[in-house]
Structure 1
Amino acid sequence: MAEAHQAVAFQFTITPEGMDLQLSYQALHQIYRSGLRSWKKRISRMQNRVIKGVYPASPSSWLFVVIAILATMYMRSDPSMGLIAKIQHVLMCTGRPLKTNQTIFQTMLSALVFSTLLWLSVILALRFCLKLLLSYHRWMFEKHGRTSTTTKVWVTLLRLLSGRKPLLYSYQTSLPHLPVPTIKDTLSRYLESVQPLLTGPGFERMTGLANQFESSLGNRLQRYLKLKALWATNYVSDWWEEYIYLRSRGPIMVNSNYYGMDFLYVTPTSVQAARAGNTITALLLYRRKVNREELKPVEIRSTLSDTLVQFQCERMFNTTRTPGIETDVLQHWQDSEFVAVYHRGRFFRLWVYQAGRLLSPREIQSQVQRILDDPSPPQPGEEKLGALTAGDRVAWSEVRKRHFCAGVNRRSLDVIERAAFFVTLDEEDQGMRGDDPAGNLDRYAKSLLHGKCYDRWFDKSFSIIVYKNGKNGLNAEHSWADAPTVAHLWEYTLATDAFQLGYTEDGHCKGEVDRSLPHPQRLLWDIPSEVQAQVSSSLAVAQQLADDVDCHVFPFRDFGKGRIKKLRISPDAFIQLSLQLAYYRDRGGFCLTYEASMTRLFREGRTETVRSCSNESCDFVKALAGGEEEEHCRQLFRRAAEKHQNLYRLAMTGDGIDRHLFCLYVVSKYLGVDSPFLKEVLSEPWRLSTSQTPLQQMELFDLKNNPEFISLGGGFGPVADDGYGVSYIIVGEDMINFHVSSKHSCSGTVIDRSKPIVGCSVSSRQKIAFSSFPSTFFLPLWR
Structure 2
Amino acid sequence: MAEAHQAVGFQFTVTPDGIDLHLSREVLKHIYLSGVTSWRKRAIRFKNGILTGVYPASPSSWLIVVIAIMSTIYARIDPSLGMIDTIKRTLSVSGYMTVQTQTVLSAILFATGLWLSLILMLRYTLKTLLSYHAWIFESHGKISFCTKLWLSLVKMFSGRRPLLYSFQTSLPRLPVPSVDDTITRYLESVRPLLDDEQYNQMEVVANDFKKDQAPKLQKYLILKSWWATNYVSDWWEEYIYLRGRSPIMVNSNFYAMDLLYVTPTHRQAARAGNAVHAMLQYRRKLERGEHVISLLLLLALGVVPMCSYQMERMFNTTRIPGIETDFVQHLSDRKHLVVYHKGRFFKVWLYYGGCHLWPSELETQFQMILNDTTEPQPGELKLAALTAGNRVPWARARLKYFSQGANKASLEAIETSAFFLTLDDEVHGYDPDKLGSLDLYAKSLLHGKCYDRWFDKSFTLIAYKNGKLGVNAEHSWADAPIIGHMWEYVLATDCFHLGYTEEGHCKGDINKGLPPPTKLQWDIPLECEEVIEDSYMVAKVIADDVDFHGCLFDEFGKGLIKKSRTSPDAFIQLALQLAQFRDKGEFCLTYEASMTRMFREGRTETVRSCTSESTAFVRAMEDKNTTRLDLFRKAADKHQNMYRLAMTGSGIDRHLFCLYIMSKYLSIDSPFLKQVLSEPWRLSTSQTPQQQLNMVDIKKFPRYVGAGGGFGPVADDGYGVSYIIVGENLITFHISSKFSSPETDSYRFGQNIRQAMLDIRALFDQKDKKEKEKEM
Task: Confirm or deny that 1:89 pairs with 2:89.
Answer: yes
Q: 1:482 aligns with which of 479, 491, 512?
A: 479
The 3 A distance-change label for structure 1 pair 770 and 249 is farther
Q: Which residue of 227, 230, 237 maps to 1:234?
A: 230
Consecutive unaligned residues in structure 2, runs of 5 or more: 767-776
| 1:607-662 deviation per Cα after TM superposition (whole angstroms, max 9, x unaligned) | 00000001111111111111111xx1111111110100000010011100000000
Corresponding residue for residue 535 of structure 1: 532
**Aligned position for 2:696:** 701
Q: Where does 1:471-620 land on structure 2 (aligned, <5 Å)?
A: 471-620=468-617
Contact 1:168 1:293 in 2 (8 A): yes
Q: Match of 2:656?
A: 661
| Offset of residue 375 of structure 1 | 1.4
Query: Which string of whole-angstrom CA distances, capped at 9 and with x for unpartnered residues, describes residues 5-34 of structure 1?
Result: 434542334566544433233223222222
Partner residue of 2:754 out of 772, 779, 782: 772
Could you tell which deviates more after superposition, 773-782 or 468-477?
773-782
**Change in 2 beyond 3 A, CA 1:245/1:173:** same
2:403 to 402, 405, 426: 405
State the SS of the aligned residue for 1:748: coil
2:773 aligns to what? none
Structure 1 residue matching 2:472: 3-state secondary structure: strand
Measured in 2, the distance between the counterparts of 1:35 and 1:550 equals 52
Call closer, same or farther: CA 1:7–1:196 in 2, change over 3 Å: farther
Shift of 1:741: 0.3
> Is the Cα contact below 8 Å between 1:342 and 1:348 reproduced in 2?
yes
Paired residues of 1:11 and 1:21 also in contact (CA < 8 A): yes
Distance 2:7 2:233 in 1: 44
Q: Distance in 1 between matches of 2:691 and 2:672?
A: 39
The structural deviation recorded for 1:274 is 0.5
Name the CA distance, whole Å, in 2 between partners of 1:508 and 1:110.
Answer: 64
Question: For the residues of structure 2 that align with 1:250 and 1:13, how far apart are their CA atoms?
Answer: 59
Residue 210 (structure 1) aligns with: 206
* 1:299 to 1:20, Cα distance in 2 relative to 1, 3 A: closer
- The answer to whether the Cα contact below 8 Å between 1:721 and 1:746 also exists between their aligned partners in 2 is yes
* AA at the equivalent of 2:763: L
Question: Quick check: 2:576–2:753 contact (8 Å CA) kept in 1?
Answer: no
8 A Cα contact 2:548 2:747, kept in partner? no
Partners of 2:606 and 2:29 in 1: how far apart?
55
Tell me which residue corresponds to 1:417: 415
Matched, 1:259 2:255: yes
Deviation at 1:752, TM superposition (A): 2.3
> Residues 221 and 664 of structure 1 are in contact (CA less than 8 Å); yes or no, is this contact kept in structure 2?
yes
Contact in 2 for aligned 1:404/1:410 (Cα 8 Å): yes
Amino acid at match of 1:141: F
Contact 2:594–2:606 (CA<8 Å) still a contact in 1?
Answer: yes
Residues 1:467 and 2:464 aligned together: yes
For 1:180, the aligned partner's letter is V
Q: Is it true that 1:117 corresponds to 2:117 in the alignment?
A: no
Query: Residue 372 in 1 paired to residue 367 in 2?
Result: no
Which of 312, 317, 337 is 1:339 aligned to? 337
Deviation at 1:218, TM superposition (A): 1.0
Give how far 1:45 is off.
1.7
Give runs of ≥4 in structure 1 deviating > 6 Å. Answer: none
The Cα shift of 1:37 comes to: 1.9
- 3-state SS of paired residue (1:188): helix
Instruction: Give the equivalent residue in structure 2 for 1:625.
Output: 622
Q: Please point out which of 722, 725, 728 is paired with 2:717.
A: 722
CA contact (8 A) 2:298 2:692 kept: no
Determine whether 1:269 maps to 2:265. yes
How much does 1:295 deviate? 1.1
1:130 aligns with 2:126: yes
Identity across aligned pairs (percent)?
60
Asked whether the 8 Å contact 1:582–1:777 carries over to 2, the reply is no
- Deviation track 1:216-243 (CA, whole Å, cap 9, x = no partner) reads 1111111111111110000000000000
Q: Deviation of residue 435 (structure 1)?
A: 3.7
Instruction: Please state how far the C-alpha of 1:293 moved relative to its aligned partner.
Output: 1.1
5 Å-filtered alignment, 1:157-168, equals 157-168=153-164
Alignment equivalent of 1:689, drawn from 673, 684, 697: 684
Distance 1:505 1:575 in 2: 42
Question: What corresponds to 1:80 in structure 2?
Answer: 80
SS at match of 1:699: coil
**Aligned twin of 2:306:** 308
Return the match for 2:176 from 180, 191, 212.
Answer: 180
User: Residue 700 of structure 1 aligns to a residue in which SS?
Assistant: coil
One-letter identity of the residue aligned with 1:647:
M
Contact 2:578–2:756 (CA under 8 A) maintained in structure 1: no
Asked whether 1:293 is paired with 2:289, we answer: yes
User: Paired residue for 1:55?
Assistant: 55
* Residue 760 of structure 1: aligned partner: none
Q: Corresponding residue for 2:32?
A: 32
Shift of 1:773: 3.9
The question of whether the paired residues in 2 share the 8 Å contact of 1:553 and 1:771 is answered with no
Q: Aligned in 2, Cα 1:526/1:279: closer, same or farther, shift over 3 Å?
A: same
* Cα distance in structure 2, aligned partners of 1:2 and 1:200: 72
Write the distance in 1 (CA, Å) between the matches of 2:45 and 2:689: 30
1:720-741 per-residue CA deviation (whole Å, 9 max, x = no partner) reads 0100000001111111111000
- Contact 1:739 1:771 survives alignment (8 Å): no
- Quote the Cα distance in structure 2 between the aligned partners of 1:515 and 1:374: 18
Matched, 1:670 2:668: no
Distance 1:171 1:702, change over 3 A: same
- Distance in structure 2 (CA, Å) of the matches to 1:2 and 1:334: 21
Contact 1:339 / 1:422 at 8 angstroms: preserved in 2? yes
CA separation in 1, counterparts of 2:735 and 2:752?
8
| Residue aligned with 1:769, SS | helix
How far did residue 201 of structure 1 move? Answer: 0.6
Moved more, 334-343 or 539-548: 334-343
CA apart distance, 1:263: 0.8
Is the deviation greater in 406-415 or in 538-547? 406-415
> How far apart, CA to CA, are the structure 2 residues paired with 1:396 and 1:747?
32
- In the comparison of the two structures, how many residue pairs are matched? 763
What amino acid maps onto 1:312 in structure 2? Q
- Alignment match, 1:765: none
Distance (whole Å) between structure 2 residues aligned to residue 729 and residue 416 of structure 1: 32
1:469 and 1:339 mapped to 2: Cα distance? Answer: 22
**What CA distance in whole angstroms lies between the structure 2 residues aligned with 1:149 and 1:5?**
68
Return the alpha-carbon distance in structure 2 between the equivalents of residues 106 and 164 of structure 1. Answer: 35
The CA distance in 1 between the partners of 2:698 and 2:432, in whole Å, is 25
**8 Å contact from structure 2 (residues 461, 469) kept in 1:** yes
Distance 2:606 2:7 in 1: 53
CA distance in 1, matches of 2:475, 2:313: 12
**CA distance in structure 1 between the aligned counterparts of 2:406 and 2:83, rounded to whole angstroms:** 66
**How far apart, CA to CA, are the structure 1 residues paired with 2:153 and 2:691?**
25
1:270 partner SS: coil
Letter in structure 2 aligned against 1:780: A
Deviates more, 1:697-706 or 1:102-111: 697-706
1:763 maps to none
Question: What is the rounded CA distance, in whole Å, between the counterparts of 2:757 and 2:176 in structure 1?
Answer: 42
CA contact (8 A) 2:337 2:419 kept: yes
Check conservation: 1:597, 1:652, Cα contact below 8 A.
yes
1:742 to 2:724 alignment: no
Structure 1 unaligned residues grouped into runs of 5+: 758-767
CA distance in 1, matches of 2:327, 2:700: 45
- For 1:546, the aligned partner's letter is A
Q: 2:4 is matched by which residue type in structure 1?
A: A
